[in-house]
Structure 1
Amino acid sequence: MPDATRRRTRRVPAPPTVAPSSTARLSSAPLPATDPPPPPWPGEEVPVPGGTVFVRSTPWAGRPGAPRERALYVHGLGGASTNWTDLAALLAVRCEGWAVDLPGFGRSSPPPTGSYSVRGHVRAVVEVLEHVRAQPGEAQGRPVHLLGNSLGGLVTLLVAARRPDLVASLTLVSPAVPVYRVPQAFGRALLLVLLPGVPSLAERRLAGVTPEQSVRGMLQVCFGDPARVPRERVDAAVAEMRERTEQAWANRALVRSMRGLITSYLRVGRANAWRLARSLRVPVLVVWGDRDRLVDPRLAPRLAAAVPDARLLVLEGVGHVAMLEAPEQTARAVLGLLEDVADGAPHGVTAGAGDDAGAAGRDERAAG
């Protein structure tokens, strides 16, 4: 048995060489003060096939004559539209903002089919994009800047690949791209959600976790330095988690979406997220914290190299939710991209980025 183990180890390929990506340019635009942190933005129900989702809106706050564009924000697994409160406030100098609660999360009802597949979330985001684009105003009918974190990052990547006509730019914050291994912070037991009957057991176990315990665990796992989280944000998260415990579907949405995420990793061919990443033709910014415990930060340069002409921002000491932990740096990188796109400047390197894309797209098997 030891000999066989050594043979298997020797066959593991070395991480492939990938083309360099361009470093994100940070905008010097004046940003509004966010101390104290702003409260959650108001929202409303937006129709989607078979039901509605809750969408929060951030009003434009630019100076007279400044560009007025639109942005849609998509949260990660277990998150909600409130994850984007701070970043939306900063980007309001240029963008009206909409932040969606995916079906079954935040204040959105569960999908009528009971399915929490990644494809279902993609369909919901496309519908909300159509809604945002159709709103009256200066930017009516124009493509929308799309931002996603974690599960929302994977969902927005798929949306941008399939409906580039709706997307002006794409910002991926620690996207949950396929890695074909379970993140250490989750533990291998979560693979059991793929087995019949186990999701119900996981839902019952989650029901025994108090809101305070849930938020405390989230801070430890998602943030590079939990001590930097403002007290106001912790209290708001606990209040939001209490609201979630009153929803009969809350734990089911979390466990079933995790199952849908892992199932999506098994897709091959045209549906594979790495292959779709290589097909992106919209300006892309990849943002990652180097202390991300949920999605390996070593994937950051690999994803940025796989996406044609992408920019990359790696934040030192930051975890899985850069838009919460480092909102100003994240906002300046997003604004730098938007400014350059508006000026017609290249949004990333144009030479070499696609040369090793095939290797970069295969590196998920060697991650870690």
Structure 2
Amino acid sequence: MTPRQPLALASAGRRPGASPAAVPLRLAARAPAAAAVPAPPDRPDPETWSRYEAVAERLDARFAGLWRLRHFRFRMPEALQHGVPPRQRRDHELPAAWLDWGPPDAPVLACVGGVANVAMRFAFLAADLRTRWRVVCMDWVGRGHSGWLADESEYHFETYVEQLRQWLDALGASARRPVALLGSSLGGSVAMRLAAREPQRIARLVLNDIGPALPRERRQRRAEVLARLHVFRSPAEITRRIGAAQKHDGPATDDIRLFLAHHQTRWSPENGGRVYRHDLRALQAYRRAAEEDVDQWTDWGALPMPVLLMHGMESDALTPETLVRMQALRPLSIAHVPQTGHTPLLADRHQTATIGDWLADPAPTPLEWSVPLAPPRRRW
């Protein structure tokens, strides 16, 4: 018996090069099961994967009909292709994916995640805020449902800044229609850089456990873990590895972690298991970048908009020294999240409410407070 194909999302009726307009999603059809035969010991157990997929489908149903998959054409400029031989440099385009939640005429909250995150990482935040906000969440190039860049050297910090800039263009962000911007980890660093350069387009900035400085040792440890091909040949392996990787993200139920892990991985027929949903070259490029210090104090000092910092109180990425210096340079609001490191999942209802209330405040006063953990969400 061949392994049952895992849950896959496909755009209905979408052709290569088609318009980037929104299209509804459907479950991709699975190939008919072959005649039942015992699975060889070196092949994945189809019944185990079938149960995993059934649970994943049930969790996905929690958000059925609440979001749509969209794309815009990201143009990779020749000027940012520093590592490509000069004769091979040329502008090229690829689809960049994003999820759209909430009313199209509501104020926009744009969310970007960490180096290995996918847009579905923000599903709980988006679902909680979608009645008041149009919450849009982007996959970085080389991650999730976005396309892959032509050369490994093209995956660098300024590429992500340019991708965010072009996405805000696609969203219509301007001085007349500024958006709120939320960034987790790497996404927060990119958001900080763009907000410093184009502050007129960003009304509010939410940084999820990231500041203008990041300890190089911490960054290097994380990069070494990410920059390898991991093949999960059983659901138990996913639970062990991704569960360990998420242990600093704060308390969360097993079904939330399974939901996030499912969207962060995909089935790989070539490897006979699930693999992370990203271009491995992007993470290898990040490992090289991790050799350098993160220093964005100039960006931090240039931000004119209100800033909310979600701080994991056990974070090893946002140090007490960085927090003190951030407060000394400019006013900001800090929400401390207990029992949480880098980075809060933003699946806790108190955390999502904190962000929603701060965004809705017409003139937020810079304050510092703790956000108690909410009771667990009802299990699905």
Q: TM-score, normalised by structure 2?
A: 0.64
Relative contact order higher in (CA < 8 Å, ≥ 6 apart): 1
Q: Is there any run of 5+ residues in structure 2 with no aligned partner, and where?
A: 1-58, 76-92, 269-273, 368-380
Matches within 5 A, 1:340-355: 340=361, 342=362, 345-348=363-366
Conservation of the 8 A alpha-carbon contact between 1:60 and 1:96: yes
The residue that corresponds to 1:85 in the other structure is 123
- Structure 1 length-normalised TM: 0.66
Mapping for residues 126-275 of structure 1, pairs under 5 Å: 126-133=165-172, 141-175=176-210, 177-183=212-218, 187=221, 190=224, 205-208=228-231, 212=235, 213=237, 216-224=240-248, 228-238=252-262, 240-243=264-267, 250-260=279-289, 262=290, 265=293, 272-275=295-298
- Give SS of 2:149's match: coil
Gaps of 5+ in 1: 1-33, 62-66, 194-201, 267-271, 350-368
Q: 1:249 to 1:240 in 2, by over 3 A?
A: closer
Q: For residues 273 and 59 of structure 1, what CA distance do their matches in structure 2 show?
A: 33
Equivalent pair of 1:72/1:145 in contact (CA under 8 Å): yes
Note the C-alpha offset of 1:175.
1.8
Structure 1 residue identity aligned to 2:203: A
Structure number having the greater helix percentage: 1
User: Which residue in 1 is equivalent to 2:12?
Assistant: none
Q: How many angstroms apart in 2 are the aligned matches of 1:73 and 1:218?
A: 22
Residue number among 52, 63, 66 corresponding to 1:38 in the alignment: 63
Which residue number in structure 1 is paired with residue 97 of structure 2?
Answer: 54
Match of 1:124 in 2: 163
Once the two structures are TM-superposed, the CA of residue 116 in structure 1 deviates from its matched residue by 1.0
Q: For 1:121-153, what per-residue CA distance to the aligned partner results, in whole angstroms no more than 9, with x for missing partners?
A: 01001111111126xxxx995101000101111
Contact kept? 1:73, 1:100, Cα under 8 Å:
yes
Provide the rounded CA distance (Å) in 1 between the counterparts of 2:265 and 2:293. Answer: 28
Residue 98 of structure 1: CA displacement?
Answer: 0.9
Q: Which amino acid aligns with 2:258?
A: V
Percent identity over the alignment is: 23
Tell me the matched-pair count. 284
Name the Cα RMSD after superposition: 3.5
Matched residue type, 1:234: L
Is 1:331 the counterpart of 2:352 in the alignment?
Answer: yes
Deviation at 1:177, TM superposition (A): 4.1
Alignment partner of 1:110 is 2:148: yes
Letter in 2 for 1:123: E
Task: Identify the residue that residue 276 of structure 1 maps to in structure 2.
Answer: 299
Q: Which whole-Å deviations, capped at 9, do the CAs of 1:80-109 have from their partners, x for residues lacking one?
A: 101100001112132101100001011111
State the 1:220 CA deviation. 2.3
Residue 108 of structure 1 aligns to a residue in which SS?
coil
Specify the code of the residue in structure 1 equivalent to 2:297.
Answer: W
Tell me, yes or no, if the aligned pair for 1:46 and 1:128 is still in contact at 8 Å: yes
